[in-house]
Amino acid sequence: MENLGFTTYLTKWKAEGYNGKTYNTDTGRQIGEFYIENLISVFLLDEVLKYNPKCFKRLYDYNATATIIKDFEGTIQIVLEEKQLPYKKKGYLSYVARIIGHGKNKVTGKPINFMGSDFSSDDMIDTDLYNE
């Protein structure tokens, strides 16, 4: 990634692809969607735009591919949790991906706290992870 100009990023391998939703954990309101296929990653928006200036419009045109949180300043972590999923064969484990962020809007100073999970169903989101 450094060879492409990315200096600040997170990425983890996840073998299965899923749609996901991102929620503001203070309000419970959905703030975005994303799709995971093999890799789950978090990048700084200004570095993405420097690499590909046309990317911003593309991300908004196909907003289910990435959640964009403008002016975010804080900490983010990617957590992979091994789970037995109800629709998989017994003994088949899968990994639930969660992207957890705590911070503020660097322009307004208002708090921004969020969690993205790669399950569309709200009841799959473990709210205990909101406050890690």
Residue 87 confidence (pLDDT): 58
Q: What is the pLDDT of residue 85?
A: 61
More confident residue, 6 or 57: 6
Q: Characterize 92-121 residue by residue with b for buried, 16 or more Cβ atoms within 10 angstroms of its Cβ, and e for exposed.
A: eebbbbbbbbbbeeeeeeeebbbbbbbbee
Identify residue 117 by its one-letter amino acid code: S
So what's the pLDDT on residue 117? 85
pLDDT in tens, 64-115: 678 888 899 999 998 887 776 665 566 666 677 889 999 999 999 999 999 9
Return the percentage of the chain with pLDDT > 70, whole number. Answer: 71
Supply the Cα-derived Rg of the chain in whole angstroms. Answer: 15
DSSP-derived secondary structure for 6-66: --SEEEEEEEEEEEEEEEETTT--EEEEEEEEEEEEEE-HHHHHHH-TTHHHHHHHTTTS-
The pLDDT mean for the chain works out to 78
Give the pLDDT confidence score for residue 17 in this predicted structure: 67
Q: Which of 25-34, 49-58, 114-123 has the lowest mean pLDDT?
A: 114-123
pTM: 0.74
The answer to whether residues 20 and 63 touch, using CB atoms and an 8 Å cutoff, is no
